[in-house]
Amino acid sequence: MAKQIQEILIDDLDGGEANETVSFAIDGTSYEIDLSDVNAKKLRDSLSPFVASARRAGALPLRRRRAGGTRALTREKSADIRAWAKSHGLNVGERGRIASKIVEQYEAAH
């Protein structure tokens, strides 16, 4: 028996036929949207002035997500976690990545 599977993209804006999936990111969140050629051009044209003035950050890292997700720590939060860990006798370095177990313990305590 033969089987044919066909994937049809639907434009997420107008419900018509889409030709491509466009990926973009803003405020640390990545998005994908299926768009027709016309709507993809509108998106790119509307972002063009911002892209022209922006710094390139490089490719977004592929990360494994845990239940509940993960986020990069701010400097202030890292400093708070380090101070808390030291006050509780936990071994934490002055610089670099903070072990996830320590971050989890800090989060559970706060």
Tens digit of each residue's pLDDT, the chain (110 residues): 888 888 889 999 999 999 999 999 998 889 999 999 999 999 999 999 999 999 888 665 555 444 444 556 788 888 999 999 999 999 988 888 888 899 989 989 88
Select from 73, 88, 38 the least CA-distant residue to 105.
88
Task: Name the superfamily (CATH) of residues 75-109.
Answer: E3-binding domain (4.10.320.10)
pLDDT at 42: 97
Classify 7-59 by CATH class. alpha beta
Alpha-carbon gap, residue 42 to 23, rounded angstroms: 14
Alpha-carbon gap, residue 83 to 7, rounded angstroms: 53
- The reply to whether domains 7-59 and 75-109 share a CATH topology is no
Task: Give the 3-state secondary structure of 36-91.
Answer: CHHHHHHHHHHHHHHHHHCCCCCCCCCCCCCCCCCCCCCHHHHHHHHHHHHHCCCC
Alpha-carbon gap, residue 6 to 14, rounded angstroms: 21
Radius of gyration of the chain (CA): 22
pTM score of the predicted model: 0.49
Task: List the domain boundaries for the chain.
Answer: 7-59, 75-109
pLDDT at 72: 65
pLDDT at 11: 95
